[in-house]
Amino acid sequence: MSAETPANPRAVARAVAARFRWPWQRDYARAKLSWDPAYAAVAGVLSESDVAVLDIGCGLGLLGFYLRERGYKGAYLGVDFDAPKIAEAQRIARIAGMDLVFVDGDARALPEFSGHVVLLDLLHYLQSTDQQMLLREAAARVAESGVLIARNVLRASGWRFHVTVLQERFIHAVRWMRSPPLHYPLRDEIEAPLRASGLDVDVRPLWGNTPFNSFLIVARRGSRTPQEGGGLHPDAPRGTSRTIADEAAATCRTP
């Protein structure tokens, strides 16, 4: 698969999955890339860009490998504190000759960076205060032409949220996730620090065919200066990120 090849989602999932060492990793990667709409949503926004990507909590590096298969040519830096996952991502990148950089590091101490910033399913593994700090630090790393894309479960009262909590308990119990969920954020807990950092923010459901209470948050630099928009009501009119979020949502509807 290359930038010139049409991005058949199943072919992309198979190509990425085939690189992993263990059968269960291959099964996991293939399944995750096939049914989880987050990767296509991010690629829909970023694959035409050559601005560098910082992938915070990158895990096995699925997003980096997926973006390369979808034709993204910019620099990529993945950070995660799960050393075995990082080692596997580094091994694959080395063998495949892909210029993707994976670093064993903590989201609470981010490296210097400027570009696009991605946080997929990371925030709820941090305490509330750490989430706020991370969102501000992440926002500070969004370049003028960059976008911040987060996907996360939001705290809510419906059945989707309860299914998500049960699934999180399971993946921690089987030790797939090193850390347990520490705080499920409300929508405004994500929006407020991003707006206070001068970003325009769009939040919308990203359920796909999953039962989880996942939302896509797309934020980019707008006309707002830092702090100016910190107190906006969640239903206030959206800023210029709507176009990009629309693009991401449209990408996810593509089978």
Residues lying near ligand SAM in the complex (CB under 6 A) are found at: 57-59, 62-63, 80-82, 85, 106-108, 120-122, 125-126, 178-179
Task: Output the CA–CA distances (angstroms, integers) from residue 119 to 146, 152, 184, 192, 197, in the order listed.
Answer: 14, 8, 15, 16, 16
Q: Beta 199-205 vs 214-221: how paired, if at all? A: antiparallel
The C-alpha atoms of residue 13 and residue 43 are separated, in whole angstroms, by: 13
Judge whether 155 and 181 are in contact, CB under 8 Å.
no
Q: Of the two residues 94 and 108, which places its CB atom closer to ligand SAM in the complex? A: 108
Contacts by residues 67-71 (CB-CB < 8 Å, ≥ 24 positions apart): 67/42, 67/43, 68/98, 68/100, 69/1, 69/7, 69/12, 69/15, 69/16, 70/3, 70/7, 70/12, 70/43, 71/2, 71/3, 71/7, 71/47
Structure tokens at 48: 């035409």
How long a stretch of residues is the chain?
255
- According to DSSP, the residues that pair with 162 across neighbouring strands are none
Judge whether 35 and 210 are in contact, CB under 8 Å.
yes
Q: Of the two residues 129 and 225, which places its CB atom closer to ligand SAM in the complex? A: 129
Beta carbon of residue 232, minimum distance to ligand SAM (angstroms, whole number): 28
- According to DSSP, the residues that pair with 197 across neighbouring strands are none
Beta carbon of residue 122, minimum distance to ligand SAM (angstroms, whole number): 5
The residue nearest ligand SAM at its CB is 59
Sign, Cα dihedral of 224, 249, 116, 150: positive
Q: Of the two residues 42 and 232, which places its CB atom closer to ligand SAM in the complex? A: 42
